[in-house]
Structure 1
């Protein structure tokens, strides 16, 4: 399995994401085959090479029978010519001409009949039916459905309607169906199991669309970012850098928003944007594997978060309940330490150890379930010993034990312990005290080291 880092400092759209994935090595023939299998007329796809910011990039284009003006700068920004560098139009055309000797891989989907309308209004149920008729894998279908559902919820919220009552051409449009299904197929093709992502960059101004002139970021993007806690920063680029499809893809991948971790890079892919902004828009994607050179095969050196706060006005029942909630929500460890606070008040210091991506969710529980009005947190490193749990046949009967192995750098010793729940069950079954049972088992394990 591979890990993926998405560098979205220039924004993201569906076609940019797909192009970046194809540049990383996603199966292009599989993408074309799946898109062909949905049997919708009125579009074709083309994959080519273009140059942006003096870099060679992949371009994924959904060609429509009826133009949707998605990259028509005069249509999208009719009153903002002064903000746009139209030289990029000429630059892009020259690059495409320059690469004419390369093959532009195009796959047509049926005959383009005049009765096929690009702006057909479809609801979420219609789109999911189209996805399920395709030859995509089960995982790809699930991811595509998740992406569409995220967009549908955002549009429903923007229009004040129930999700099943929303008919909108953004999701129903052929290009959105092609982009999202292709994105899902690419992710599945690359065997990606972990995604990291930078904060998303957005532009400013207004954009002309089917709903009229809307402020940037548009309502659907705002809803997706808010609902999925996606960090965003606004740049000085005039124009829309984040499309609803792009935002929904990020949300569906549920990435960790953090810098690229220590790793071994496998490949970098660039997905070109179509719109001619002053600053070229593209997605940079990095395929990588975790770097284990500084980690012994016997232990893991990873990053965690320690959350702390002091509580001086809560009952034992509430503190116990809070600990249970935090453990259920994925905390690695929860503990209380007796402390004295100002005015010599006895209190408890709560300490929670968790993964970085659990910081916000666990902080929410602490601040809602306790009387604390603030907390502090700090990133930390930890060393985790290699551990194995196995069944051990003792003279008292079978019991589960844990074997922990230190790496050579830390001495190479091996320690074996009985697992508590298994030890307790064995003591009760043999009518012995827990202390007696523990001594017998540990004695046997020590003798067999």
Structure 2
């Protein structure tokens, strides 16, 4: 299964993203089928045409409204439309999430309940087509992971049904704040709306990682062209990729290779109690492992060397923890690979009742099993036996293993 990488160049909008997916090879029928299922067929005409931006060839999406009722839909009516449509569950859920995040953002900035938000531009038929079409395209491609680089928002002013608004619009600011999306400062000389509320809402709900993978190969790509003219290409590219690390990771390969982040620092101006609390914070937040030891530092001071092994996708989050919860003024960081055996947690029945255990799959196909240390410690106190006695009784009597998870 391939991954998807969305490249905002420099920003993102729903129509550009839809054009890129079409250029990538998603059939128009796939894009329009949920619109048919929702009864919107006679409300629009959808067309994809070749276009250029600064000589770069791509696809421009054009949605012509033939919605004679000119309905200004609110979130309540759109919610009813989605929930009463005949959509598959997975697609319905993601479409619902995108619109719900938009309604929440609009409600926040206008001071009203989300259900009462009249979407104006984003409730118009062209935005309905963009959002539902993009969700349908991604559902059709069914990628393992979705990556995206950090977008620019733009500056200046944009004309809306609320009048002239500064860029970025209030709804974009609220979406970025609520979803904790990191954005890139805009080029000083460029005015214009680089990222729209629809684009940011799609990005915040469809993307797994707001950074590209460290290494990947490109299998195919599509280009979506925007309507605004800039002195640089205004486009969104969508790539089908194979990430380098993931090429090793599937459950048929044992051991498997994965990328990790290693962060470390030396600290000589915090108490042992503070260091202990910080190490525990790293573990609670999901560090794979943390080690620390006392060391001699400059001016003959005793300090601590702390090293944390972390999930690669959370390295930025943990980087911030160092500066928020420790006194360090610098953190060393590197990306490494590690080979690990597949394992899974579960429980099995023993003389002591059901206890939690962990299985490990060896390269030769054999399986080893050991009780969780917390269980051994609990039984040791309860039965007043030594650790070795507890382990032997468990090993001699365990049976009927029940897995809590797949091999990973």
Does the TM-score normalized on the shorter chain lie above 0.5? Answer: yes
Equivalent of 1:388 in 339, 343, 356: 343
Equivalent of 1:225 in 176, 192, 210: 176
Deviation at 1:60, TM superposition (A): 3.0
* Deviations 1:323-344 (CA, angstroms, capped at 9, x unpaired): 4443332222233322345554
Kept after mapping to 1: 8 A contact 2:47/2:63: no
Give the whole-Å Cα distance in 2 for the aligned partners of 1:335 and 1:231: 33
Equivalent of 2:284 in 323, 328, 332: 328
- Structure 2 residue aligned with 1:289: 242
Give the whole-Å Cα distance in 1 for the aligned partners of 2:341 and 2:207: 28
- Structure 1 residue aligned with 2:37: 37
Deviation at 1:223, TM superposition (A): 2.8
- Structure 1 residue aligned with 2:197: 244
The secondary structure found in structure 2 opposite 1:182 is helix
* Deviations 1:237-257 (CA, angstroms, capped at 9, x unpaired): 442221111111111124323
- Structure 1 residue aligned with 2:270: 313
Equivalent of 1:403 in 360, 381, 384: 360
Aligned residues: 387
Q: After the TM superposition, which residues 89-238 of structure 1 pair with which residues of structure 2 at under 5 Å, given as runs?
A: 112-113=67-68, 116-118=69-71, 120=72, 122-227=73-178, 228-235=180-187, 236-238=189-191
Kept after mapping to 2: 8 A contact 1:45/1:60: no
* Deviations 1:276-313 (CA, angstroms, capped at 9, x unpaired): 44434221111123346778943344332233342643
* Deviations 1:160-180 (CA, angstroms, capped at 9, x unpaired): 445445434133222222211
Q: After the TM superposition, which residues 348-363 of structure 1 pair with which residues of structure 2 at under 5 Å, given as runs?
A: 348-363=304-319
Give the whole-Å Cα distance in 2 for the aligned partners of 1:341 and 1:167: 62
Deviation at 1:192, TM superposition (A): 1.9
RMSD (CA atoms): 3.7
Give the whole-Å Cα distance in 2 for the aligned partners of 1:58 and 1:233: 27
Kept after mapping to 2: 8 A contact 1:8/1:198: yes
Which has the greater radius of gyration?
1
Give the whole-Å Cα distance in 1 for the aligned partners of 2:42 and 2:365: 67
Deviation at 1:275, TM superposition (A): 3.2
Deviation at 1:42, TM superposition (A): 6.6
Residues 161 and 315 of structure 1: is their aligned pair in 2 closer, same or farther, counting only changes over 3 Å? farther
Q: Identify unmatched segments of 5+ residues in structure 1.
A: 66-111, 407-411, 444-449
Deviation at 1:142, TM superposition (A): 1.8
* Deviations 1:125-148 (CA, angstroms, capped at 9, x unpaired): 332222222233222222222222
Residues 216 and 393 of structure 1: is their aligned pair in 2 closer, same or farther, counting only changes over 3 Å? closer
